[in-house]
Amino acid sequence: MFQMRQCTNTFFKQRQRPCLEYQIKRCRAPCVGLVSPEEYAEDVNNTIRFLKGDSSDIHSTLIEKMEDAAEALDFEKAVLYRDQLSMLREVQARQAVYTVQGEADVIAIASQAGMTCVNVLTVRGGRVLGGKNYFPDVDSSEPLADNLSAFITSFYFQVTDDLPAEIILSHEIPDQVAVSEALATHFGSKVVIKTNVREHRSEWLDLATLNTSNALKTKLGDYLELHARFGALKDVLAEVTDRTIDRIECFDISHTMGEATIGSCVVFDQGGARRRDYRQYAIHDIQGGDDYAAMKQVLTRRYKKQPLPDLLLIDGGKGQLNIAKDVLTELGILNDTLLVSVAKGRRAQGGFRSITFYRS
């Protein structure tokens, strides 16, 4: 609405001309000075006021600015303010049903097929500002109320520093009074935890519950697709190995003109990408551009301390594969994994890859 920039500070500082966001009218290009600092600061202020629910004041200010711009024959600015007014009215119309007083976090929980989802819907100034889905690592066989209680304590004591006046829950938690008192002591303000609500608060809770249900369906759909891919991988590898493939670790070497060599490891299992297990290794004491030596170093450092995955993927051809084979042989663990290298080959531009297996 107010065309705030979404880029990082590093990207912002390096710009010498407007990016695509400016062309599609989602940013006013403060990076190259196409908007004055004062005007951009006003946009920032309007955004903050809008998120706090001060839409009526913004509405009056925009009307006044539009009229002033039209009188000064600055029609380009007048159109800008007109468009902002139009978008503001559209958002107000969407949220008309929620224009009541109150600040609350609306929290709903649901579980399906061993997966648990919690949706936190944020309501400030009587307006729904948005929500976020969480998939906590809990025992789905436990009662939902117990898992919800554990999530609430973790969320308010470790994740957020904002405590609203109300917390509306989809399930009554067993230690509701104790949790309320603990939150009040921690934040220094009173909070009321509710489960039985009516009218608009009931609609907020219905919305949070719907979000939870939709998020679970999407997550389970992704899981089923991933499970099917692992099944297809098993079929492809049936002639090579009969081991169950659950964890995959992939290695690649990169450098800048032979300098600053880095070995990267990404990890996947049947739950998807394991980003917390990703690692980067700074490579030292090798000749610049020697990918074989770099691969040897990173694999040695990795598997001296870590167990092997079911499938070890190496980016490269037979040379890199032989280096990996030598490293695992030296460590005495060559037969503990399936070793595969993936090279670009001559037809890489068409999406083709050359795959080489090592059979023990």
In the chain the domains, ranked by start, together with CATH numbers, are 9-97 (no CATH), 104-219 (3.30.420), 248-358 (3.30.420.340)
Express each pLDDT in 175-213 by its tens digit: 889 999 999 999 989 999 999 988 888 989 999 999 999
Task: Find the mean pLDDT for residues 96-115.
Answer: 78
Q: What is the pLDDT of residue 54?
A: 67
- The C-alpha R_g of the chain, in whole angstroms, comes to 28
Kindly tell me if the per-residue pLDDT of 95 is higher than 60: no
Kindly tell me if the per-residue pLDDT of 302 is higher than 80: yes
Kindly tell me if the per-residue pLDDT of 317 is higher than 80: yes
Q: What is the pLDDT of residue 3?
A: 78
Number of H helices, E strands in the chain: 10, 12
Express each pLDDT in 234-263 by its tens digit: 888 888 888 888 899 999 999 887 788 899
User: How far apart, in whole angstroms, are the C-alpha atoms of residue 325 and residue 322?
Assistant: 5
User: How far apart, in whole angstroms, are the C-alpha atoms of residue 256 and residue 84?
Assistant: 45
DSSP-assigned states of every residue in 150-192: HHHHHIIIII-----SEEEESS--TTHHHHHHHHHHHHTS--E
Q: What is the pLDDT of residue 359?
A: 53
298 pLDDT band (50/70/90 cuts)? very high
353 pLDDT band (50/70/90 cuts)? low
Query: Could you tell me the pTM of the whole model?
Result: 0.52
DSSP state for residue 351 in the 8-state scheme? T
Kindly tell me if the per-residue pLDDT of 303 is higher than 90: yes
Average pLDDT of the chain, as a whole number: 85
